[in-house]
Amino acid sequence: MADSKVDAPPAPKARQSSRLRWWFSSVVVVLLLSRVWLHLQTQDEYTLCSPTNSIYTVNETQPRAQCISVRNGRIEAIGNDVDVKRNWFARILDPFNGQVRYLEPEQIIVPGLAGICPSFQVFARASTYPDAHAHLLEQGYKMQLQLDGSKSVQEVVDRIKAYIIAHPDVHADPSRWIEGMGWDQTKWPGAEFPTAADLSADPLLRGRPILLMRVDVHAAWVSERVLEIMAPLPPDSDVEGGSIIRDAAGEPTGIFVDNAMMLIPRPPWAPEQYTDFFNTAVAEALKYGLTSIHDASTDPAAVAFFKGVAETGNLPASSSLILWCKCTENFTGWEPSKIDRLTNHGVHGKLNLRAVKLFTDGALGSWGAALIAPYSDKPDYSGIMRTSPETMNELIRTAWRAKMQVNVHCIGDRANEVVLDIFENILEEEAHNGDADVAAFRPRIEHSQILQPSDLVRIGKLGVLASVQPTHGTSDMGYAETRLGPDRIKGAYAYRTLLEASPNKILPLGSDFPVEGVNPLLGFYAAVTRLDVAGNSPHGDGGWFPSERLTRAQALKGMTLDAAYASFTETELGSLTVGKRADFVLLDRNIMEVEAAEILKAKAICTVIDGKVEYGSLGGRIMWW
């Protein structure tokens, strides 16, 4: 029998080397797993790729891309997979960045959408789509009692009754104010304004103080109890910049238009209401992919609230506040130079305030838009100038001298003409002094709704930004021509003409929510189709004045990069470009290519702000390079 051979035990140095290798390998594995776990918790590094190159950048040098890499809240690389892999290999010691998520073929990524609200302008990032004109707190306010879509006075009464029954504290206290928003008499039989008596016909409503804002927030409908609280009212129907609607006997009917609404002693919001309205509106905005908002009518109390939210790190998106000047003919004490401006304010640097909001006239639906010639359906009336041309001139010049951006609400052709005259005079004076630089101030006309043909050209020539809301056109198209007549209507809601007149082809698009819906795709759809949500228009399924339709690329740019430019944030937001903030939305279908009827079916799978998912989930198939 052969002798058995027994391996000799490893030498001490070999055993030590083996242990060191084992220890080193274990440390590497632990570190890598720790990094993976940390990344999954913080979501601050990842790459997304589309198999159909459906990442729409709104960057003219690279309109579409296959992949986008995010690191520390910024876009680190964008391009095809080879480009992004090259970027990864440059950081080979950073192994987790090798993870990539592949989207489904039908999904797309677009920059965060912006919303624009009307007021003294405070800018803050709030959602993936920027909204160039919106009212965040007012959206939350409206959602407590929504009256949109009501087809009659009785339906409004029924909704108020349901609200009272659903809120025992309101039911038990007849002195508690009930407030709602969204009614529109143009959608009712007869299209007549309602009355305070209509709110007293039902016993459950009788004797209660009720305040209901019209859909455009340019008229208020109050109950008989509110009229009692307000007594005595001024004897004249017309008040400075507004109107008290009266019956044949000269008695107030309960409708107050524009500046007359300031007579209503509505209770101020309590601190908890600010918080509730904010949380409700933000949740709604993020659901639809909004990443930044131009809050267009922020008053000082709202500014203080937004500052508090930003300073605690709870402002989820960028916000640009536009401070509303509640100015009439007596604007003594209004000093824009003393406004507390905000620049990248708060824990995350998301709040800005560098603009003011002024009102020239009212709205078309309540006959408040200031027209050069009388209304076609009200030949003895030309609308309301909420601020006289002389006072508007002083207000704009005062803000301009204080180097504040000026945003002016103008609906009617007279209002637009007056404000363009003022801007033109200022720019001519500055040109004479060698100081003209309209891009430094970026003056905006909010709505730019009805303009003379000459002013459609002039607004572009001056470089004044036309900040428009496409859904206003489709909401008003049922009655707009009745108000304006067949000739004047040709200069109304002329979005394509305004874009082509702009020297830099800039047309910021917003929603004006809660006047319109929060979903930015409503505005996108209205801009490219000129149809209502049912696919109809007074001119058929080709759209209302179809020559004023925007292309899908123009509409997307208007809702992203143009909106960012309008708030001086184009270097940080508005396009998917290396170095900018990683604000974007993942949609479940390609709104740039699907049939028009499919656009409104699109859903936001997730909303990403500063690289972090604020709504939904990134999803996708995870792979490793």
CB hemisphere CA count around 386 (13 angstroms):
28
CATH number, domain 271-573: 3.20.20.140
The residue type at 190: G
pLDDT tens readout for residues 469-528: 999 999 999 999 999 999 999 999 999 999 999 999 999 998 877 777 778 899 999 999
Given a cut of 70, is residue 115 above it in pLDDT? Answer: no
- Residue 388, classified by CB atoms within 10 Å of its CB into exposed (0-12), middle (13-18) or buried (19+), is middle
141-263 is a CATH 3.10.310.70 domain: yes
- Residue 132, classified by CB atoms within 10 Å of its CB into exposed (0-12), middle (13-18) or buried (19+), is buried
115: left (phi over 0), alpha (psi -120 to 50) or beta: beta
Contact 558, 509 (CB under 8 A): yes
pLDDT for res 374: 98
pLDDT for res 130: 54
Class of domain 41-112+576-625: mainly beta
The residue type at 465: L
Given a cut of 50, is residue 128 above it in pLDDT? Answer: no
pLDDT tens readout for residues 137-148: 888 888 899 999
Contact 347, 312 (CB under 8 A): yes
Contacts by 239-242 with C-beta closer than 8 Å and gap 24+? Answer: 239/263, 240/328, 240/329, 241/328, 241/384, 241/385, 241/386, 241/387, 242/362, 242/384, 242/386
Provide the mean pLDDT of the chain.
85
Using alpha carbons only, what angle is made at residue 590 by residues 131 and 523, rounded to the nearest 5 degrees?
30
The residue type at 93: L
CA distance linking residue 202 with residue 197, whole number of Å: 10
Report the chain's C-alpha Rg in angstroms: 28
Q: Count the Cβ atoms, other than its own, within 10 Å of residue 9.
A: 8
pLDDT for res 125: 31
CA distance linking residue 396 with residue 423, whole number of Å: 8
pLDDT for res 93: 40
CA distances from 245 to 147, 231, 615 (A): 21, 15, 45
Q: Kindly list the domain boundaries of the chain, sorted by start residue.
A: 41-112+576-625, 141-263, 271-573
pLDDT tens readout for residues 196-251: 999 999 999 999 999 999 998 899 999 999 999 999 999 887 788 999 999 999 99
